[in-house]
Structure 1
Amino acid sequence: MAFEVPVIDISAYTAGGSAAERATVARQVDEAARTVGFMQIRGHGIAAPTLDEFACALDEFFALAPEVKHRYRTPPTANRGYSPPQSESLSLSLGVASATRMNDYFEAFNIGNTAADFPGLDLPPIDYAENVWPAELPAFQDRVSAYYREAARVAHTMTTVFAAALDLPDGYFDRFIDHPLEVMRMNNYALPPGAVELDGELKGMGEHTDYGIVTVLWADQVPGLQVLGADRRWHDVQPADDALLINLGDLMARWTNERWLSTLHRVMPPIVDGAITRRRSAAFFLDGNAEAVIETLPSCVGTGSRYAPITVGEHIRTKLAGSRAGQPNTNAPREAARVLAANEP
């Protein structure tokens, strides 16, 4: 069977639809989650001007001089601010021993929700870190925040669809995401002439699974993103017109006992007409409440659970210690095995 990322119209959930129309969407999502782990969604309801303003803000930040961008670096544990090229290795979030070199050439800027967004709750500042905003771009915060709110809405809508697709009660996931860890990572894949020497190991972003519940991805229609199929081969994926890419994270794989997989993906140097070209993307990660315990859903246990219970915060911190601090993750043997199998001749 040919590899394909299905396109699903979710307007029955975003713009009002009948019970039958919603049930159709839920079946389509379940099929995509079981077979690919990625899907493209239309009918998400994000207005074109919001996306255009967001893209302009992203361009303006990454056009700043390197020394300016470096002012907005934060400690690896904060998962906020600027990450320069070759400062991370996403494969280490899976503990893959061969991926010990910091070879991912993308640069990124991260924002997320903070403890101050949830007054009255005593939330750990290491998980709900403060944002940093570039003073050189006074409109940046408003433009980026406008898209952030829309991406968050879409992500939360997808959890409503997930509950229906998994035959769970309406609102089942709400108690796990009422003060969630959320991060949006804006990525820039570009190689200024002479800045980086290309070799066989260079990747835009190394193979990895996403960490949380669901990812909402906006991306250019430029080659680079590759998804690992059931055939253990890497397949190119580009978003369709007006579509956002949706994929599942490790916590959803744990919840569903791998009925739904957090699919491995990577970004290769985007080559168009024999030359490396620029590629942009923005991934919104809905990870869940830091203290929430993730354990196999009763309907997915089957003959036994593949995963021990873990809190969202513990899981995310372990993954970040790999990708951003260079400490190989020892808590992802199943995902690491898939990476190594994909790399076998």
Structure 2
Amino acid sequence: MNNDKPTAFSVPVVDISAYVQDGTPAEREKVAKAMDDACSTVGFIQVTGHGIDDSVTDGLASAMDDFFGLDLESKKGYKVEGANRGYTAPKTESLSLSAGVEAASRMNDFFEAYNVGVEARSFTDLDLDEGDYGVNVWPQIEGYRDRVQTYFAEASRVAYTLTSIFADALGLESDFFDRITDHSIDVLRMNNYALPPGTEVTLDGDLTGMGEHTDFGIVTVLWADQVRGLQVLGRDGAWNDVSPADGALLINLGDLTARLTNDRWMSTLHRVKPPVVNGTIERRRSAAFFRDGNADAVISTLPSHLEYDNGMAYEPILVTDHIAAKLAGSRGGKLNAAAVREAARLREAATR
């Protein structure tokens, strides 16, 4: 029997309810094994059994609608200079620069976004730099803050559950990820893929909703509309469409987890190519919760994974330095020269 026949790309589905609902050791072992298989083959996972109620995601979606429905000038009033917070207008970022690749046109990603996150002052017993964590600004919209913070807390819980599964899947101490995330740089980025009315765009061109990139940190928890647009770069070098299943969250690994595992668990490259329907761009919303790790944590390749990637381990890196280099690319327009492996995968895909 020939087992070399290529198979269609798919995102594995992992039910994590055994960790959410205190399952048996055998049930948890099964989940950890499934997670290891998913992370080592695709790097994107459809997660079910996460325990976030529909009312929470509905509240998040309505808060996003309320804010992104404002006129552009009102939204620009919530822009925060030099910080990973507040409003980002269309065509002011270029995510591919964070992955070490020049975009055809710089700062051309047409999504708009709003960022909130954990603040340094939340950790009263630590002397943390606001430059790493940021200070939130909240739109003056009734109920906005409560709806967003309710979802933020739930996404944070899911991220914690996932890193517990990761520790078991990798054979690590149960508190391994706790030690590098107990004052993590956590950010919720709410994205809207629809150009403001009156914006000129060439619909037959190569539109970029969000450029090719990897996520920066440890794990990303993504809620998204079931509207096509998200594409994931498979290990065969082809781009594949991905949309969340009913009730599922999309989970992907960040660069720091890839560094820990020496790319056995890869930080998968992805992008958003906006769908065009009847000559107009179909609206798409997503909200990405990033667990990026403690600013002062040093990330090194795990001793158990030194033999992967031909024995060429990543150099240890301070989380704050890694995040700064990535943000300087996406938001500052500076090519991230340190993203060597990501750039190589993108260039290889471009030749196929």
User: How would you bin the TM-score normalised by the shorter chain?
Assistant: over 0.9
Which among 174, 177, 181 is matched to residue 173 of structure 1? 177
SS in 1 for 2:116: strand
Equivalent residues of 2:93, 2:331 under 8 A apart:
yes
Q: One-letter code of the match for 1:262?
A: S
Partners in 2 of 1:178 and 1:141 — Cα distance?
Answer: 24
By how many angstroms is 1:172 displaced? 1.4
1:63 maps to which residue?
Answer: 69
Equivalent residues of 2:94, 2:103 under 8 A apart:
no
1:73 maps to which residue?
Answer: 79
Partners in 2 of 1:323 and 1:253 — Cα distance?
Answer: 20
Equivalent residues of 2:191, 2:285 under 8 A apart:
yes
Which among 232, 238, 241 is matched to residue 227 of structure 1? 232
Which among 1, 6, 28 is matched to residue 12 of structure 2? 6
SS in 2 for 1:127: helix
Is residue 315 from structure 1 mapped to residue 322 from structure 2 by the alignment?
yes
Partners in 2 of 1:98 and 1:335 — Cα distance?
Answer: 14
1:336 maps to which residue?
Answer: 343
Over aligned residues, Cα RMSD in angstroms? 1.3
Q: One-letter code of the match for 2:151?
A: Y
Is residue 186 from structure 1 mapped to residue 172 from structure 2 by the alignment?
no
Q: One-letter code of the match for 1:185?
A: R
By how many angstroms is 1:320 displaced? 0.1
Equivalent residues of 1:224, 1:271 under 8 A apart:
no
1:147 maps to which residue?
Answer: 151
Q: One-letter code of the match for 2:214?
A: T
Partners in 2 of 1:191 and 1:304 — Cα distance?
Answer: 46
Equivalent residues of 1:216, 1:284 under 8 A apart:
yes
Q: One-letter code of the match for 2:329?
A: G
By how many angstroms is 1:98 displaced? 4.0
Is residue 158 from structure 1 mapped to residue 162 from structure 2 by the alignment?
yes
By how many angstroms is 1:271 displaced? 2.9
Partners in 2 of 1:100 and 1:192 — Cα distance?
Answer: 20
Partners in 2 of 1:271 and 1:10 — Cα distance?
Answer: 35
Is residue 52 from structure 1 mapped to residue 58 from structure 2 by the alignment?
yes
By how many angstroms is 1:243 displaced? 0.2
Q: One-letter code of the match for 1:175?
A: R
2:142 maps to which residue?
Answer: 138
Partners in 1 of 2:105 and 2:128 — Cα distance?
Answer: 33
2:311 maps to which residue?
Answer: 304
Is residue 251 from structure 1 mapped to residue 256 from structure 2 by the alignment?
yes
Q: Which runs of 5+ in 1 are unaligned?
A: none
The 1:128/1:193 distance shift into structure 2, 3 A limit, reads closer
By how many angstroms is 1:100 displaced? 4.8
| Percent pairwise identity | 60
Q: Which runs of 5+ in 2 are unaligned?
A: 1-6
Question: How many corresponding residue pairs?
Answer: 343
- TM normalised by structure 1 equals 0.97
Is residue 86 from structure 1 mapped to residue 86 from structure 2 by the alignment?
no
Partners in 2 of 1:235 and 1:6 — Cα distance?
Answer: 14
- TM normalised by structure 2 equals 0.95
- Residues 154-201 of structure 1, C-alpha deviation per residue, up to 9 Å, x if partnerless? 011100000011011212111100000001100000024540312534
Partners in 1 of 2:233 and 2:270 — Cα distance?
Answer: 6
SS in 1 for 2:268: coil
Q: One-letter code of the match for 1:282?
A: A
